[in-house]
A and B are shown apart, each in its own frame.
Chain A
């Protein structure tokens, strides 16, 4: 309808002077002057109107720094692109751009990326790239690559933690600044996102790297296994746990394992059995404190409403999750719901007061395991009471 009103000349005339369907020759001659701006206006307005609304939503990939240039970007391409397209149709987009322009663009981009001190910054970045390319870096005995973890993994996960889940961390003072300690947490969320978020939060608040203990399945899977090792994880077995703890590392363990992470949504925030208490005996043997961690919010990221046990058995995985979004929306179903997260580190439970043979006393191990479990469960309940809603 809009089109019919916009084109004023040559329609509704006699046959031969325009059919009404198509603008007449006279109308075509006049159209660029009168028609184009009117037609363009809504097209140019739409992205401008939409962008701010989109900006309001927390974006997973966009850190804080990018907000300033974002304002002028939507306007520029629409204005600049239109005449260029009509004038130079047929030639390659790269042809005819002089080398000087390339250089200027490169310098401008470098300045945008690295700030005014772009030359030394870029040199440092190149030095880093070269180090990676020539293999001139060190990994520790578990395959932990500190450089890549800090610069890539953490940088990629941080926006997710800060903007998407808006993680609130409490009780950071309970994490010792140095020496071995065992962080024991509840596990939930279908995919172990809670482990990654705990790693980022601990690193950002204390500067220490959390070394997670992962299931056998993690290290059997291609890509996942090698990324996990690079990120500092190792197999959840007594040998590795004790080795890391006696080396004074901060170790994270999720004793519920697949029972916790793959429990149905109806069972949310109900702690499952805490394994066989292997983590307690590792802490007892090495005499390190156990720090209970309660995570609220991770249960809601992928509400697990169903499972395909037969397919899971076939693929050799513990479960195939069905969430309200997952197989139905395809890859979009993999976007976690933006629930609000609370992480609370509890008072450390000391284990160095027990005597040497304590780890061999099953009753004591069970008691300490129960103590840790109860602490986490009660903290979960109190955090849930505090939370206004799932998403706020």
Chain B
């Protein structure tokens, strides 16, 4: 003891939080890992000490003081109510939970660093967005509802905390949509729909972060103690149409005005939750600039956006891909081409005409 560090991780009942707590516990540089959540985790926690506590009440302060915690990783800002209940509970967990946690952290003398997992949803999505958001930019339209509002409020509290405790290094990680075979989020359940509705006439730009990269960046932040706000996302961007083609999914374009109604129908059927923020995202898309992640945080994601998506798509049930098979069969009858670049065609009016 003494030389090592004590890390407290909130939100360990969820898969990403639990995995992080376990990997941190296996880390030789870290002495003790305490996992906190309202409900016990379903999976194996390994060497993690689990404390069943609600971060919405002051009990959390006692845990932090008693265990002499020096690093807090806040992972329980959630995008879906899931097992926690309805939207009201989710908001309370996100906002009030963060307030209580930060109040407890402010009292903790031994605290050295705070890592908060936020989301790029803080930038919103609209037609007036710049192509790539840097960390200094604000959303063009402040969020008024849902998860996006929670995130912006949580970030506001975190900034307030950073002002009041300048001795604590505060790392705010704005992560792009986390994706992976095991991730359950509004976006992954959208991609898991049997037929995927898209907004007619719009093709958003998407950016993904692989779940293992999320794990790595959080560990990196715990180890490095570089304070600041960072965008975290895999390299490159994908269009939604491109992602759907890669996954071989069938999609149905739905006019924008009908999309909201479809969303609530899907929600009441408990298939997917197309919240207004997600609809905005699926209409206009979003891109974030990750220069600061490389230069200041010194983190390099292993998976690019497309690699992360392809791994996720491989776990989905395979789609029809009929057109592709027909083309493949046709191509087999023709001599192979080593030059992948098509030569200029002499087709009147272009090959699509």
Give the segment of B61-69, B108-116, B123-131 that binds chain A. Answer: B123-131
Q: In this complex, what residue of A is CB-closest to B235?
A: A141
Give the segment of A21-29, A162-170, A230-238, A284-292 that binds chain B. Answer: A230-238
| 8 Å CB interface, A141-181 against B | 141-143, 145, 151-152, 155-156, 159
Give the segment of B29-37, B174-182, B242-250 that binds chain A. Answer: B242-250
Which of B201, B287, B334, B347 is close to A226, meaning CB atoms less than 8 Å apart? B201
Residues of A within 8 A of B128 (CB): 216, 219, 235, 237
Residues of A within 8 A of B342 (CB): 121, 124-125, 127-128, 151
Q: A61-B349, A235-B131 are in contact. Are A129 and B201 (CB under 8 A)?
A: no
Q: Does A355 sit at the interface, judged by CB under 8 A? A: no
Interface string of B248-279 (1 = CB under 8 A from A): 10000000100000000000000000000000
Residues of A within 8 A of B202 (CB): 222, 225-226
A26 to B242 CA separation, bound complex (whole angstroms)? 71
Which of A61, A121, A138, A139 is close to B345, meaning CB atoms less than 8 Å apart? A121
Q: A143-B237, A219-B127, A223-B201 are in contact. Are A123 and B324 (CB under 8 A)?
A: no
Q: Does A134 sit at the interface, judged by CB under 8 A? A: yes
Which of A63, A127, A240 is close to B349, meaning CB atoms less than 8 Å apart? A63
Residues of A within 8 A of B340 (CB): 124, 127
- A135 to B245, Cβ gap below 8 A? yes
- A139 to B238, Cβ gap below 8 A? yes
Residues of A within 8 A of B127 (CB): 216, 219-220, 225, 235
A62 to B256 CA separation, bound complex (whole angstroms)? 36
Residues of B within 8 A of A331 (CB): none
- B246 to A135, Cβ gap below 8 A? yes
Residues of A within 8 A of B241 (CB): 135
- A123 to B243, Cβ gap below 8 A? no
B316 → chain A, closest Cβ, in Å?
14
B320 → chain A, closest Cβ, in Å?
12
Q: Does B28 sit at the interface, judged by CB under 8 A? A: no
- A134 to B324, Cβ gap below 8 A? yes
A124 to B345 CA separation, bound complex (whole angstroms)? 10
A214 to B224 CA separation, bound complex (whole angstroms)? 42
Please report whether the interface of chain B is mostly helix, strand, loop or mixed according to DSSP: loop
A182 to B43 CA separation, bound complex (whole angstroms)? 57
- B349 to A156, Cβ gap below 8 A? yes
Q: Which of A135, A137, A145, A237 has the most chain B CB atoms inside 10 A of its CB?
A: A135
A137 → chain B, closest Cβ, in Å?
7
Q: Does B350 sit at the interface, judged by CB under 8 A? A: yes
A243 to B203 CA separation, bound complex (whole angstroms)? 22
Which of A115, A125, A139, A222 is close to B351, meaning CB atoms less than 8 Å apart? A125
A235 to B129 CA separation, bound complex (whole angstroms)? 7
A156 to B343 CA separation, bound complex (whole angstroms)? 17
B38 → chain A, closest Cβ, in Å?
40
- A222 to B256, Cβ gap below 8 A? yes
Interface string of B321-345 (1 = CB under 8 A from A): 0011001101100111101111101
- A124 to B339, Cβ gap below 8 A? yes
A136 to B241 CA separation, bound complex (whole angstroms)? 11
Residues of A within 8 A of B352 (CB): 152
Q: Which of B200, B351, B353 has the most chain A CB atoms inside 10 A of its CB?
A: B351
- B245 to A130, Cβ gap below 8 A? no
| 8 Å CB interface, A42-97 against B | 61-63, 65-66
A346 → chain B, closest Cβ, in Å?
28
Q: Does A330 sit at the interface, judged by CB under 8 A? A: no
Q: Does A315 sit at the interface, judged by CB under 8 A? A: no
Q: Does A229 sit at the interface, judged by CB under 8 A? A: yes
B340 → chain A, closest Cβ, in Å?
6
Residues of A within 8 A of B248 (CB): 134
Which of A63, A133, A220, A221 is close to B245, meaning CB atoms less than 8 Å apart? A133
Q: Does A119 sit at the interface, judged by CB under 8 A? A: yes
Residues of A within 8 A of B347 (CB): 113
- B346 to A123, Cβ gap below 8 A? no
B324 → chain A, closest Cβ, in Å?
5
- A121 to B343, Cβ gap below 8 A? yes
Q: Does B205 sit at the interface, judged by CB under 8 A? A: yes
- A129 to B327, Cβ gap below 8 A? yes
- A135 to B243, Cβ gap below 8 A? yes
Q: A114-B346, A119-B335, A120-B335 are in contact. Are A136 and B246 (CB under 8 A)?
A: yes
- A243 to B132, Cβ gap below 8 A? yes
Q: Does B284 sit at the interface, judged by CB under 8 A? A: yes
- B331 to A126, Cβ gap below 8 A? yes
A136 to B247 CA separation, bound complex (whole angstroms)? 11
Q: Which of A126, A130, A240 has the most chain B CB atoms inside 10 A of its CB?
A: A126
Residues of A within 8 A of B323 (CB): 133
Q: Does A122 sit at the interface, judged by CB under 8 A? A: yes
- A141 to B200, Cβ gap below 8 A? no
Residues of A within 8 A of B335 (CB): 119-120, 123
Q: In this complex, what residue of A is CB-closest to B200?
A: A222
Q: Does B239 sit at the interface, judged by CB under 8 A? A: yes
A145 to B324 CA separation, bound complex (whole angstroms)? 21
Q: A136-B246, A142-B131, A143-B237 are in contact. Are A62 and B351 (CB under 8 A)?
A: no
A63 to B340 CA separation, bound complex (whole angstroms)? 25
Q: A120-B337, A139-B238, A222-B201 are in contact. Are A240 and B130 (CB under 8 A)?
A: yes
Q: Does A5 sit at the interface, judged by CB under 8 A? A: no
- A113 to B346, Cβ gap below 8 A? yes
Residues of A within 8 A of B341 (CB): 124
- A130 to B350, Cβ gap below 8 A? no
Residues of A within 8 A of B86 (CB): none
| 6 cross-chain CB contacts under 8 A | A114-B345, A121-B342, A132-B245, A136-B246, A138-B236, A151-B351
Which 8 residue pairs of A and B lie closest in terms of their CB atoms, listed nearest first?
A222-B201, A135-B245, A135-B246, A123-B334, A239-B130, A155-B350, A226-B203, A223-B201
Known: A114-B345, A119-B334. 11 other contacts (CB 8 A): A125-B342, A127-B337, A133-B324, A135-B238, A139-B242, A143-B237, A143-B285, A145-B239, A222-B200, A224-B201, A239-B134
**Taking beta carbons and an 8 Å cutoff, which residues of B are in contact with A?**
127-132, 134, 137, 199-203, 205, 236-239, 241-246, 248, 256, 284-285, 287, 323-324, 327-328, 330-331, 334-337, 339-343, 345-353
**Taking beta carbons and an 8 Å cutoff, which residues of A are in contact with B?**
61-63, 65-66, 113-115, 119-130, 132-143, 145, 151-152, 155-156, 159, 216, 219-226, 229-230, 234-235, 237, 239-240, 243
